[in-house]
Each structure stands twice: as structure tokens, then as C-alpha cells.
């Protein structure tokens, strides 16, 4: 274990503005991790704290500590966790009650990250296009698995390995701007379950009800949290290595993931209460199981939208695209952008 100075920037800069930007970036990243389509890395770019955060993660995983780096890391992570705890319930409710509205917005938010990644990937090389094709196919397959129910877990206990993998995936998305961790959770079929578990743990903690907290904490929150920690330690350094040695191909894969993400976000679908005898999550539904089934786990069905819903979906997607693209632009034009 060693101690070294922060190499992410000039230590002569005042600490307070740095921590304020870290807090803003953490809050935005926490929100991003709840909303499919918004990249946590893009939020850190927008707040101008991205290079500091990446340097801090790299130092800590190499057991090299510096006071400024630790303060930045703790501030970003702490405020992100606060945002997740406070907003998980509200976002989950919107996903259940207004899925087509949220999905329409998510399409725009997802595609809004494309200009940022394309600007980093230019000039494109053959390896960029090969990587883009591979990323698109991978995301399309994930979307197909989610639609067919392959990614849905039958119950909390059976899903522990999947929850751990989801945490690793979310951690990867925290590192690379343009990639949405919440979208990866969505296509893995665990997004609503994780939001519900976080909200349940928060409510149980407020009520000081240890029994109510145990199941969602042990079977969802804990494995996801461990996956995030492992992912940040391993994936961040792997991605840095890939970006150094295979930059164009890696950026191509990221670009393909972004474009392919919309395959699984067809907005005009809704959760439908299952009928007795249907198989949901590997279980044959009985009247008792249906009564106890979380609405967030209802199987989805497509519906024919009205003209008004079509227009609203287009406007929501355009608004989401503009919001993400603007945030990415702010991140690129601020001092402390991605290439500082």
C-alpha cells in the first residue's frame, strides 16, 4: 500500500469548488443509474469531474491513495447513493404505470449519447466499424433475451448470480460515457426488481424493521452492490487498458451498444396481469401467486398506439435526445473534459 499525489489535475486549485462539482456530478450520476438511457459517465463529463473520478478509481484499485482523490471518490459515490435511495421508488412507479412514456423518453436519452461517442471515435477505422457491428449484435441479442423472458428471474434467490452480474454491468457503465447502466439492467430483466428492493430497504430502514429489510437486502441489494464494487475495480482498469491498446475498436463497440440499445425499447408495451396457468419467471401462476406477484414483474404485451401517443412518443424521444446531447456537449466544452 502506497501513498501518492493526485495526478489528475493541479492540486493548487481550491478544494471547495472541486467538491461542489463532485457532489453535483454524483447526484447526476445517481439519477443516471436509475434512468435507462442516461450514462453515468456522461453526467460526470457534464459536471467536469470525469477525469478526476477516473484517476481516483485507478489510484484506489492500485492501493495508491491521495487525500483529494479520496475526497472526490467519496463525494461522488456518496451523493450518487443518496440520489438512488431517494428516487428509486418514484422512478419504479413511473416505469410500472407509464411504461410507454418512459420508454419513449429512454429512446431519446440513449441515442443522445451517440454524438459524444462518435466524436471520440473519429476518424473511424475498419476496426471501429467491426466493433460497432459486434456491439449492435450483442445489444440486440440482449434485447431479444429480455423480450422472450430469458433474462427474467423466477424469484429473488434464483436471481442472485444474475444480480451480481447486473452490478458488474452497471459498474462498467459508470466508467464509460455514453453507456447506460440502467438500460443494461432493463434488458437483463432486473431493473424494476432492483428499484423495488432499494426502495423496500429504504422504507424498512426508516421503519427500523429488520425482518422486512433482510430479504431484499440479502437477495438483491447486497449481490448488486458487491457486483458494482468488483466491476469498478476490475472493469475500469480493463477498459482503460482496452482504450489504450484498442481505442478505435473499443469505441466502435460502445457506439454499436448505444445504437443497438433502442432495439429493446419499443415504447408501446405494457405490463399485463397474468392469468391462472400462465408461466411467469419459470413458475406456473396460481391465484395466490398472481395476488402476491409484484406488478413490476407482470409480462409485457405490445399494443397499438393512438395518433396522439405516437406524436407524444416522438416528442419525448426528441426531448430526451436533446437533453443527453446537451449534457455531453457541456461536458466536452468544460475545463476538465474527457481528454484533459
Cα distance between the two ends of the chain: 27
Q: Using the predicted structure, report yes or no on whether residue 181 has a pLDDT greater than 80.
A: no
Confidence of residue 340 (pLDDT cuts 50, 70, 90): very low
pTM of structure: 0.64
In a domain, 288, yes or no: no
Tell me what the mean pLDDT of segment 197-222 comes to.
Answer: 87
In angstroms, rounded to a whole number, what is the distance separating the alpha carbons of residues 191 and 183? 8
157: exposed, middle or buried (Cβ count in 10 Å: 0-12, 13-18, 19+): exposed
In a domain, 196, yes or no: yes
In a domain, 273, yes or no: no
In angstroms, rounded to a whole number, what is the distance separating the alpha carbons of residues 168 and 183? 13
Percent of the chain with pLDDT over 70: 80
311 CB neighbour count, 10 Å cutoff: 11
In a domain, 238, yes or no: yes
Domain count, the chain: 1
Task: Compute φ and ψ for 27, nearest 5 degrees.
Answer: -60, -45
In angstroms, rounded to a whole number, what is the distance separating the alpha carbons of residues 94 and 221? 21
Give residue 338's pLDDT. 40
Give residue 235's pLDDT. 73
61 three-class SS: helix
Give residue 134's pLDDT. 92
Task: Compute φ and ψ for 173, nearest 5 degrees.
Answer: -70, -25
43 near 177, Cβ under 8 Å? Answer: no
In a domain, 277, yes or no: no
In a domain, 281, yes or no: no
201 near 221, Cβ under 8 Å? Answer: yes
Residue 321 lies in domain:
2-268+304-333
Give residue 335's pLDDT. 37
Most confident by average pLDDT, 42-51, 155-164, 271-280: 271-280
In a domain, 140, yes or no: yes
Q: What is the per-residue pLDDT across 119-159, written as a single tens digit (0 to 9) for each? A: 878 899 999 999 999 989 987 886 676 665 544 444 444 46
Q: From the centroid of its chain, how far is CA 2?
A: 32
In a domain, 327, yes or no: yes
Amino acid at each position: 500500500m502506497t501513498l501518492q499525489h493526485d495526478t489528475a489535475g493541479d492540486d493548487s486549485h481550491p478544494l471547495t469548488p472541486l467538491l461542489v462539482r463532485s457532489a453535483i456530478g454524483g447526484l447526476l450520476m445517481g439519477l443516471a443509474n436509475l434512468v435507462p438511457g442516461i450514462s453515468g459517465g456522461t453526467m460526470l463529463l457534464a459536471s467536469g469531474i470525469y477525469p478526476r473520478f477516473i484517476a481516483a478509481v485507478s489510484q484506489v484499485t492500485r492501493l495508491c491513495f491521495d487525500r483529494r482523490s479520496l475526497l472526490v471518490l467519496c463525494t461522488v459515490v456518496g451523493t450518487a447513493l443518496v440520489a438512488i435511495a431517494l428516487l428509486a421508488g418514484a422512478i419504479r412507479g413511473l416505469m410500472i404505470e407509464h411504461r410507454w412514456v418512459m420508454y419513449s423518453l429512454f429512446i431519446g436519452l440513449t441515442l443522445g449519447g451517440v454524438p459524444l461517442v462518435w466524436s471520440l471515435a473519429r476518424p473511424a477505422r475498419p476496426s471501429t466499424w467491426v466493433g460497432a457491428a459486434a456491439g449492435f449484435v450483442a445489444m440486440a441479442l440482449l434485447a431479444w433475451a429480455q423480450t422472450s423472458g430469458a433474462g427474467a428471474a423466477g424469484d429473488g434467490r434464483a436471481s442472485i448470480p444474475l444480480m451480481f452480474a447486473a452490478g458488474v454491468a452497471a459498474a462498467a457503465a459508470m466508467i464509460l460515457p455514453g453507456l447506460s447502466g440502467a438500460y443494461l439492467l432493463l434488458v437483463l430483466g432486473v431493473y424494476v426488481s432492483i428499484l423495488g428492493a432499494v426502495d423496500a430497504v429504504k422504507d424498512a430502514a426508516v421503519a427500523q424493521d429488520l425482518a422486512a429489510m433482510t430479504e431484499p437486502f440479502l437477495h438483491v441489494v447486497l449481490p448488486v452492490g458487491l457486483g458494482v464494487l468488483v466491476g469498478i475495480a476490475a472493469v475500469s482498469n480493463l477498459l482503460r487498458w482496452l482504450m489504450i491498446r484498442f481505442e478505435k475498436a473499443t469505441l466502435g463497440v460502445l457506439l454499436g451498444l448505444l445504437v443497438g440499445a433502442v432495439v429493446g425499447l419499443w415504447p408501446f408495451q405494457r405490463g399485463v396481469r397474468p392469468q391462472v396457468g400462465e408461466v411467469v419467471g419459470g413458475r406456473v401462476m396460481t391465484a395466490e401467486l398472481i395476488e402476491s406477484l409484484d406488478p413490476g414483474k407482470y409480462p409485457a404485451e405490445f399494443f397499438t398506439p393512438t395518433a396522439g401517443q405516437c406524436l407524444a412518443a416522438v416528442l419525448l424521444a426528441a426531448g430526451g435526445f436533446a437533453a443527453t446531447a446537451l449534457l455531453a456537449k457541456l461536458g466536452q466544452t468544460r475545463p476538465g473534459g474527457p481528454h484533459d
